[in-house]
Amino acid sequence: MSLLRFISVCLCLCGNALADGMQPETTVVILNEEDGEATLNIKNTDPGPALLHSAIENIPEDQEPLLIVTPPITRVEAGDTQLVRFISIAKAPLKTQRLKRVSFEGIPQARTPGGATIGITLRQNLPLILHPKGLPKHDAPWQLLTWKREGDRLRVHNDSAYVVRMSLEVQLHPQAQVGTLPRTYILPGEVLTVAAAGSMASVVAVEFQPATVYGFTVGSYRASVVAGAD
């Protein structure tokens, strides 16, 4: 909301303000290990040329460099589409899916001195999933999660080889209470703890909003909670 307010203020203060429009064709990038690379088209929807800056970002839980992006920076004319490549540099075969982030930033062309036009840079940030060779595709990996009630704590276990992305909030049943996960993804082999104000002792099911592998949200999913070791 603060970004929208900022853009609105710029539009009010300057009659020729514009926001660049580097638009990726998808909301998630999938790099299959057997292919060695993935590609993504980025379109400049701005009325003027701009520099497209692309970068790979590691998540805090996985700092290993696994891929490079090319070109890291290039000029894209108004209305043109630029193909961006993501090339694997992994030194060993992948055993599970890995999660990275990729950012795209459009830098507007510099204006002549005294010009009234202001360029507003907008940054896109997308998830990038590296998929191991030989691992079957799974369109609903959230179904592989195990939700366990351990004493007065509720934990979600990801014993699968898949990255699972979902909403931060989960509904706890039968209390209809809201719990919160620490982040919107759970990596292979991870265990996350759900935070909630009330007791977890009587929770028998959870309901949450998963995100598909391709970035689309689907209907809420309800999973049973099993009793774990105290």
3-state secondary structure of 162: coil
Query: CA-CA distance, 12 to 33, in Å (whole number)?
Result: 48
Query: CA-CA distance, 218 to 209, in Å (whole number)?
Result: 7
CATH number of the domain that residue 67 is part of: 2.60.40.10
pLDDT tens, N- to C-terminus, the chain (230 residues): 333 333 333 333 333 333 448 999 999 999 999 999 999 999 999 899 999 999 999 999 999 999 999 999 999 999 999 999 999 999 999 999 999 999 999 998 766 565 555 566 778 999 999 999 999 999 999 999 999 998 889 999 999 999 999 999 999 999 889 999 999 999 999 999 999 998 888 999 999 999 988 877 789 999 999 987 65
Q: Please check whether residue 220 lies inside any domain of the structure.
A: yes
Q: Please check whether residue 2 lies inside any domain of the structure.
A: no
Q: How high is the pLDDT of residue 141?
A: 97
In this structure, the number of other CB atoms found within 10 A of the CB of residue 230 comes to: 8
Last residue of a domain, which of 113, 131, 149? 131
Q: How high is the pLDDT of residue 43?
A: 96
Same domain, 106 and 171: no
Tokens representing 176 are 């209809």
Q: Where in the sequence is the domain holding 147, given as residue range(s)?
A: 141-227
Q: How high is the pLDDT of residue 120?
A: 64
Residue in the structure block whose two tokens are 């999938």: 30
